[in-house]
Structure 1
């Protein structure tokens, strides 16, 4: 049986720091989660928007991975956070990938920054700075989930399921085509969204790839992406 090809958006990272050598980078655990689910992961490096159609043509499903802040330019606001954690080239390229995936009706699974960018692409906006949502340790969890009943997320996670937290921005105005399916019960921060109706879209604010080795529910997210979304 032919494997499902899942494209994962890549970032760029200078290694070693200040060496002038730039590598295409993606969390290995994202690819491992797809392979464990029986899919075939393919990393998509940052490119120009005109390449989006060719990339989406060759994949079955798309993962929008984590990384930098999304430029407020794309949701009509001025940048309020003084940081170098922005990449206009990445934003422009991944917005083109999203538009093409939607056009071709190919499923999108969005992680952390990916969920934020997807919300912006569909007409939403972001909180440029959220507090108390960055845990100190890479391993482990930070808080629980308040899950919407009868949602895709509720099929995988129960009320109070523990997740990690590595974000300094979040959804402010929800895009019209999205539905909130999980929140942080501490402050109401949106932690998961899905597409309205039959739109094959699922987004999570946490990083399931860091948890899936030790948590069945987070690995089932990848199973769901490969086999059902």
Structure 2
């Protein structure tokens, strides 16, 4: 039986710093989570929007990975913060991937920035700057989540589950086609959502790939993506 092919969106990273040499970059733990679940991960580098159709065609499922802020022009706002942590090329390409994944009926698993971008693609908006959602230690967790009963997340995580937090933006207005399924009890931040209709979409605000090695629930997210979503 052929393995499920999971495309993972890549970022670009200059290595060594100040060298001018760009590498395609994605957290290894994302691809490891897919492999542990029995899938075949393929990293998709940032490309031209017109390339999205062919990329989506060759994968079975799509992971939108974490990274930069989403440019507010895509949800009808001006920039409110001083930051250079944006990539217009990445936004444009990944928005095209989302459109194609929906058109071709390919499941989407969206992580952190990816979750925010899918919300924007479907008509939602973002808080451009939030406080107290960036933990200093890459390892470990920072707060728990409240989970909506009878949701996809509730099938994978127990009440009181602790998650990590590495984001400086968050969902403001949730797109009409999505339903929130987990929140941060401290301030109500949406930590997970899923699609209401026929499209298979699961969005997670935290980074499960950093927790999956030592947390079976977070690995089950990848199992769910490969085998069920």
TM-score using structure 1 length: 0.99
Q: Which residue of 1 aligns with 2:115?
A: 115
DSSP-derived class of the 2:7 partner: strand
Q: Which residue of 2 aligns with 1:137?
A: 137
Q: Structure 1: 5+ residue runs without aligned partners?
A: none
CA drift of 1:34 comes to 0.1
CA drift of 1:199 comes to 2.2
CA drift of 1:81 comes to 1.2
Q: Within the alignment, does 1:60 sit opposite 2:75 as a pair?
A: no
Q: How does 1:153-172 map to 2 (within 5 A)?
A: 153-172=153-172
Deviations for 1:125-183, whole angstroms, at most 9, x for unmatched residues? 00000100000100000000100000000000111100000000000000010000000
DSSP-derived class of the 2:74 partner: helix
DSSP-derived class of the 2:54 partner: helix
DSSP-derived class of the 1:24 partner: strand
Runs of 4 or more above 3 Å deviation? none
Q: How does 1:11-90 map to 2 (within 5 A)?
A: 11-90=11-90
Find the aligned partners of 1:81 and 1:57 in 2 and give their Cα distance: 37
CA drift of 1:197 comes to 3.1
DSSP-derived class of the 1:62 partner: strand
Find the aligned partners of 1:197 and 1:74 in 2 and give their Cα distance: 23
Q: Structure 2: 5+ residue runs without aligned partners?
A: none
Deviations for 1:3-51, whole angstroms, at most 9, x for unmatched residues? 0000000000000100111000000000000000000000000000000
Find the aligned partners of 2:169 and 2:63 in 1 and give their Cα distance: 19
RMSD: 0.5
Deviations for 1:63-95, whole angstroms, at most 9, x for unmatched residues? 000000000000000001111100000000000
Aligned residues: 229
Find the aligned partners of 1:165 and 1:55 in 2 and give their Cα distance: 30
CA drift of 1:223 comes to 0.1
DSSP-derived class of the 1:213 partner: helix
Find the aligned partners of 1:82 and 1:157 in 2 and give their Cα distance: 37
Find the aligned partners of 1:197 and 1:115 in 2 and give their Cα distance: 17
Q: Which residue of 1 aligns with 2:126?
A: 126
DSSP-derived class of the 1:34 partner: helix
Q: Which residue of 2 aligns with 1:226?
A: 226
CA drift of 1:194 comes to 0.3
Q: Which residue of 2 aligns with 1:194?
A: 194
DSSP-derived class of the 2:47 partner: coil
